[in-house]
């Protein structure tokens, strides 16, 4: 495997940008530190990628971060977590410009403005934007969605994750379950919807008999959806994200009920909500920060080292079991005996 600038940086104990500057310096004008780095690179067998060098000469050092929509995609926590992940990788090497795809005017993308683009896609309509990026030969990585285009993907298996969450409720004896879904126009919603229905069918139940209300991934929509679902006397609510789950908890408490003694609760994303509530929510862990970090690393490999990697990379989801799901199997068996 070819030695990269990052390999040299690790060996030299310096930053990537320090190595890059040293190797672009005239040896006769280099400082002692730069000369040391150059010698380390030579010893390691580093060979310049000329394509990457040529690209570097015309760089803007700007990365575009395009969301399906800034205003309606989901919780504002998503934007914060993704930006934090991106900046933890690029540091001060690049500026990051955040825009909404739904605000983009087709045909206006300037290929000289961006060195590369990260796309956090959720809608089918986003493909038109991605195709424009490819036509204009701007390096691109798509995160949080599986897409069949000539570009790398970094995502998680949300369908299987939601299947596991519903499995956990059913295995704990719950049969009267309500589901608070997200915006039906988003890809994550469709994947999670398929996941819980697969679980229900596998357990011999009819998914169409389960009451479902669509929210918009915001706290208020979880609260309003839960108020309606509580009319069905559920023993559990499955929520498509943590923010809606915390909204649902308020509706449960207003009915004079408690979590999990009266109504169990599961969320999705595993966001830190400790500053807002003491509830220790059982949830599916999906780190948007980790997804953004990995997507950014893939993009920088292309920009800095000329390495094109169009794989689909899946990061792991994990069910985090805390204190909001009650095992009611013993209770149900006693009721059947009576």
16 vs 87: which has the higher pLDDT: 87
Question: In this predicted structure, what is the pLDDT of residue 278?
Answer: 81
Q: Is the confidence at residue 146, as pLDDT, over 70? A: yes
Q: Is the confidence at residue 51, as pLDDT, over 90? A: no
Question: In this predicted structure, what is the pLDDT of residue 273?
Answer: 66
Question: In this predicted structure, what is the pLDDT of residue 78?
Answer: 76
Are 121 and 190 spatial neighbours (Cβ–Cβ below 8 Å)? no
Q: Among 50-59, 154-163, 324-333, which is the least confidently predicted range?
A: 50-59
Average pLDDT over residues 21-35: 76
321 contact partners, CB below 8 Å, separation of at least 6:
168, 282
Question: In angstroms, rounded to a whole number, what is the distance separating the alpha carbons of residues 269 and 124?
Answer: 22
Domains of the chain: 5-48 (no CATH), 62-156+288-316 (3.40.50.2300), 158-286+320-337 (3.40.50.2300)
Ramachandran category for residue 229: left, alpha or beta (phi over 0 → left; psi -120 to 50 → alpha): alpha
> pLDDT for 54-112, tens place per residue?
555 568 889 999 988 754 445 567 788 899 999 999 988 899 999 989 888 999 999 98
Q: Across the chain, what does the average pLDDT equal?
A: 87
Question: In this predicted structure, what is the pLDDT of residue 260?
Answer: 96
Q: Is the confidence at residue 218, as pLDDT, over 60? A: yes
Question: In this predicted structure, what is the pLDDT of residue 307?
Answer: 79
| pTM summary value | 0.73
């Amino acid at each position: 495997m070819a030695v990269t600038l990052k390999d040299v940086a690790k060996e030299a104990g310096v930053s990537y940008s320090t190595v890059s500057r040293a190797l672009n310096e005239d040896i006769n004008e280099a400082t002692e530190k730069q000369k040391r780095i150059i010698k380390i690179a030579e010893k390691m067998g580093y060979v310049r990628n000329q394509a990457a060098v040529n690209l570097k000469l015309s760089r803007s050092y700007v990365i575009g971060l395009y969301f399906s929509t800034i205003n309606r995609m989901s919780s504002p926590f998503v934007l914060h977590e993704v930006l934090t992940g991106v900046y933890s990788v690029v540091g001060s090497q690049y500026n990051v410009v955040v825009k909404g795809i739904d605000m983009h005017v087709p045909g206006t993308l300037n290929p000289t403005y961006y060195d590369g683009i990260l796309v956090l896609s959720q809608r089918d309509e986003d493909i038109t934007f991605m195709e424009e990026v490819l036509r204009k030969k701007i390096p691109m990585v798509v995160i949080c969605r599986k897409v069949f285009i000539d570009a790398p993907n970094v995502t998680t298996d949300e369908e299987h994750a939601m299947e596991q969450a519903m499995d956990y409720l059913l295995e704990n004896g719950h049969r009267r379950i309500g589901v608070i879904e997200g915006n039906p126009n988003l890809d994550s919603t469709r994947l999670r919807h398929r996941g819980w229905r697969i679980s229900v069918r596998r357990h011999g139940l009819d998914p169409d008999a389960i009451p479902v209300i669509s929210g918009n991934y915001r706290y208020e929509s979880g609260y309003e959806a839960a108020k309606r679902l509580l009319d069905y006397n559920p023993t559990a609510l499955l929520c498509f994200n943590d923010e809606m789950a915390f909204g649902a908890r308020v509706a449960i408490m207003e009915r004079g009920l408690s979590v999990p003694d009266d109504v169990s609760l599961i969320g999705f994303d595993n966001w830190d909500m400790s500053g807002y509530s003491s509830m220790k929510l059982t949830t599916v862990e999906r780190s948007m920060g980790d997804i953004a970090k990995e997507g950014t690393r893939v993009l920088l490999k292309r920009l800095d080292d000329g390495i094109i990697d169009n794989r689909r990379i899946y990061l792991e989801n994990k069910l985090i079991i805390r204190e909001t799901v009650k095992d009611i199997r013993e209770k149900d068996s006693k009721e059947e005996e009576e």
